[in-house]
Amino acid sequence: MTPSDSPATSRRVLALALPMTLANVTTPLLGFVGATVIGRLGDAALLGAMALGAVIFDAIFWSFGSLRMATAGLTAQAVGARDAAEVDRTLARALAAGLLVGLLIVLLQGPIGRAAFSLSGASPAVIAGLSAYFHIRIFAAPFTLANYAILGSVLGRGRTDLGLILQVAINLTNIVLTLVFVLWADMSVAGAGLATLIAEAAGAGLGLILLARLGSRPFAVPFRVVRDPLALARMLSVNADVMVRTLLLVGCITLFSALGARSGDVVLAANAVLWNLFMIGGFFLDGFATAAETLCGQAVGARDEARFRRAARLSLLWCLAFGAVIAGGFLVAGNAFIDAVTTSPEVRAMARLYLLPAALAPLMAAVPFAFDGIYIGATWTRAMRNLMLAASALYGLALLAAHEAGLGNGGLWLSFLILLAGRGLSQALAYPGLTRGTFRAPASALPDGAAPGLRRA
């Protein structure tokens, strides 16, 4: 039985979700090691440069995270339809898009860097270190985006074990090279940038080798097929929808941080501590979103509505179960976590005041996380984008009402919970109609170039 033939079971959901959860855990480890290594140089400006550089590149690359998600959804549908040629065509188009965008980022590094440095408002000493880091790491852009395409293809095939191998290989290579270049070769922050460049390039090479062992030949796809207008339009449309949704989500999170900062340094620091709790919960929830992408996408490609509904239901149930366990764990161990992260009595006291809403956030996020995976797997990306727009508007109204009521930081956390609840509820309400439209539409209603059974959301 091939992965695309596997029934949607709890064991299958967990087998897909847990490897990606482990892969996600290696990412903050990389950031911790990088900060520790640079911190050992004893120059606060260099540490600040490293931190700012990480924020800048997170903002750049997270904006194109849609490439990974769109590739996963389209690949899963091709796998479910048993169309191996379309799997390779999807990967070829994603690689071409990633390499093209990556090269544009490299070519535009001058204006991108100047804008980022200006917005940072950092001191000249920090900017000097940041510039050294930025203008080396920027050359990793084509490899980073190629890795997004490769990871999406791997996940769409249901091989989250290979996704784990790729993510761990990239992050461990980066960690080792950072130690060598910074501490042994005395290259300072430039060494950290070079380590990332080499790690991303090595990851892309390893990913292509693993895909070749699976029988994938993306570079054998004729260029005229890669640039097929209808197929490219579909892929770019899905990417654009997911990108808009991601930017809206980033904007909501940024607004949360900015409004917290207006309440003073203690509130800002307390929220930062509590936000780490939410991010830890997100590592687990994201694994179940990945499982939903794979299982639901393959079911759509196979035109199997019963399998799709079962995959969606199990993904939701397991995501909710883990969200509840995480929330309970945070309530029990939250005070100890706060004390471990900060030694400031004021910050500790402030964080404890808002531990309850912070602990509830992973539970509230479980439904939208799972539905994001379901919607991406089914490529209901236009609906996902529109629902995110509506939830963002609801978030804005909640923030305004909380401000008028003088609720302070408590109102900020309440508004964030309303954002999560609004996303999940709206996705749940739209789900039945989207499912009927996908599986019960006549063939004549499908757009040219669409996968079997797929309608644009």
Identify the DSSP state of 179.
Answer: I
Report whether 108 contacts 246 (CB < 8 A): no
Closest CA to 156 of 64, 66, 98, 71: 71
Looking at residue 1, what is its pLDDT? 42
Looking at residue 28, what is its pLDDT? 67
3-state secondary structure 254-310: HHHHHHHHCCCHHHHHHHHHHHHHHHHHHHHHHHHHHHHHHHHHHHHHCCCHHHHHH
Ordered mean pLDDT values, 10 residues apiece, the chain (457 residues): 64 91 77 72 76 80 86 94 93 94 95 85 82 94 96 94 93 93 88 94 96 92 89 88 90 83 79 83 90 94 94 96 94 88 82 93 95 95 95 96 90 95 97 92 44 38
Report whether 224 contacts 41 (CB < 8 A): no
Looking at residue 441, what is its pLDDT? 64
Looking at residue 6, what is its pLDDT? 61
Rounded Cα–Cα distance for residues 402 and 412 (Å): 7
Identify the DSSP state of 228.
Answer: -
Residue with tokens 């509840």: 324
Report whether 238 contacts 73 (CB < 8 A): yes
Rounded Cα–Cα distance for residues 258 and 431 (Å): 33
Report whether 96 contacts 226 (CB < 8 A): yes
Rounded Cα–Cα distance for residues 61 and 58 (Å): 5
pTM value? Answer: 0.86
Looking at residue 3, what is its pLDDT? 56
Q: For residue 336, count other CB atoms closer than 10 A to its CB.
A: 9
Looking at residue 217, what is its pLDDT? 92
Looking at residue 364, what is its pLDDT? 95
